């Protein structure tokens, strides 16, 4: 019988070796298994994709065509992951065409403390200005969402981590004061790693200054909506970002004051799952709603219309 002649000896195995459950194929150069392309071919496939055309979604790993991703307001078409979006793109996605009048576009930080470190603050500012096309981490102005004019401030994380220095604070304060004077509501869309350390105490003073301007705005019975996007933390979260009449957030945005590791080390306690996400904070009452980016314009228009209706009646009377 053919099968009985298929012994350990015929396979060239020594007696001590364990007999394999499946007979391995003979070394044959024509065998497809042998001819299987090498693993390194994935590298050449990578090389075939022109750089800057595709982005890999960090959540679902889908390769997304940049043009489509931009058209979808930087939201993954497959899983809805919200990528970071620049301040200008965001303003364009919200306001009516040609309605936005930018304020203080030329304002720039000075190196008041002559900060030195691995790189000087001056050099850092220059490289970020070149890299982002922005002058600082916020764009402010007066614009229109549907029929409602408003004061709008939008932060940009790509400029020094959206950190708040004297320019961010001053631009926001001037915008809030202009809105108070013109009887307009305010919307600020935040994304920030916190106060800018290169400006030391000058950065921390912006927390009080922006909140002071917002207090006068509130005294005039005008609404302020704070929109928190990924991430909004530290000095910004501890000031104007958390004092909105309405506080809304984008899905899965990281929101908090100190980072989770610091809190864990300080409290010596396990942090609950989902800690510091928009969803967790909605459950615990810190924020009022989670609004996907693609619905943001309509929802803001709806809220503003509702919050300004009393003012409109007052004006009509």
Residues within the interface to Zn ion (CB under 5 A):
57, 59-60, 76, 78-79, 81
Contact assessment for residue 56 and residue 44, using Cβ atoms and an 8 Å cutoff: no
**Considering beta carbons, is residue 211 or 252 the nearer one to Zn ion?**
252
**Considering beta carbons, is residue 252 or 301 the nearer one to Zn ion?**
252
**Considering beta carbons, is residue 72 or 120 the nearer one to Zn ion?**
72
The SS3 of residue 244 is: coil
**Considering beta carbons, is residue 73 or 179 the nearer one to Zn ion?**
73
Q: How far is the CB of 58 from Zn ion (least distance, A)?
A: 8
Contact assessment for residue 279 and residue 226, using Cβ atoms and an 8 Å cutoff: no
Cβ burial of 80 (10 Å; 0-12, 13-18, 19+) is middle
Which of 244, 250, 249, 248 lies closest to 224 in space, CA to CA?
Answer: 244
Distance CA 57, CA 93 (A): 21
Contact assessment for residue 136 and residue 87, using Cβ atoms and an 8 Å cutoff: no
Contact assessment for residue 146 and residue 301, using Cβ atoms and an 8 Å cutoff: yes
Cβ burial of 38 (10 Å; 0-12, 13-18, 19+) is exposed
DSSP state of 289: E
**Considering beta carbons, is residue 55 or 93 the nearer one to Zn ion?**
55
Q: How far is the CB of 53 from Zn ion (least distance, A)?
A: 17
Contact assessment for residue 293 and residue 154, using Cβ atoms and an 8 Å cutoff: no
**Considering beta carbons, is residue 72 or 158 the nearer one to Zn ion?**
72
Q: How far is the CB of 249 from Zn ion (least distance, A)?
A: 19
């Amino acid at each position: 019988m053919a099968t009985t002649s298929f012994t350990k000896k015929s396979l060239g195995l020594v007696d001590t070796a364990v007999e394999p459950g499946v007979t391995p194929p003979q070394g044959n150069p024509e065998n497809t298994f042998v001819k299987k392309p090498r693993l390194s071919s994935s590298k050449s496939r990578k090389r075939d994709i022109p750089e800057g055309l595709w982005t890999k979604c960090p959540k679902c790993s889908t390769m997304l065509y940049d043009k489509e991703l931009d058209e979808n307001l930087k939201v993954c078409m497959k899983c809805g992951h919200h990528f970071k979006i620049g301040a200008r793109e965001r303003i364009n996605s919200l306001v009516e065409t040609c309605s936005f009048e930018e304020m203080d576009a030329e304002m720039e930080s000075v190196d008041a403390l002559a900060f030195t470190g691995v790189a000087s603050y001056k050099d850092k500012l220059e490289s970020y200005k070149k890299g982002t096309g922005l002058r600082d981490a916020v764009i402010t102005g007066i614009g229109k969402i549907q029929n409602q004019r408003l004061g709008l401030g939008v932060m940009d994380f790509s400029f020094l981590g959206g950190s708040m220095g004297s320019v961010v604070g001053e631009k926001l304060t001037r915008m809030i004061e202009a809105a108070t004077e013109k009887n307009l509501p305010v919307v600020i869309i935040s994304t920030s790693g916190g106060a800018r350390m290169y400006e030391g105490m000058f950065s921390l003073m912006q927390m009080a200054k922006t909140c002071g301007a917002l207090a006068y705005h509130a005294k005039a019975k005008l609404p302020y909506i704070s929109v928190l996007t990924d991430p909004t933390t530290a000095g910004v979260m501890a000031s104007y970002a958390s004092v909105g009449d309405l506080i809304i957030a984008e899905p899965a945005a990281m929101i908090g004051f100190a980072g989770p590791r610091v809190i864990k080390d300080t409290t010596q306690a396990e942090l609950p799952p989902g800690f510091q996400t928009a969803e967790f904070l909605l459950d615990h009452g810190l924020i009022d709603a989670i609004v996907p980016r693609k619905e943001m314009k309509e929802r803001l228009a709806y809220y503003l219309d509702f919050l300004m209706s009393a003012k409109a009646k007052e004006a009509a009377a």
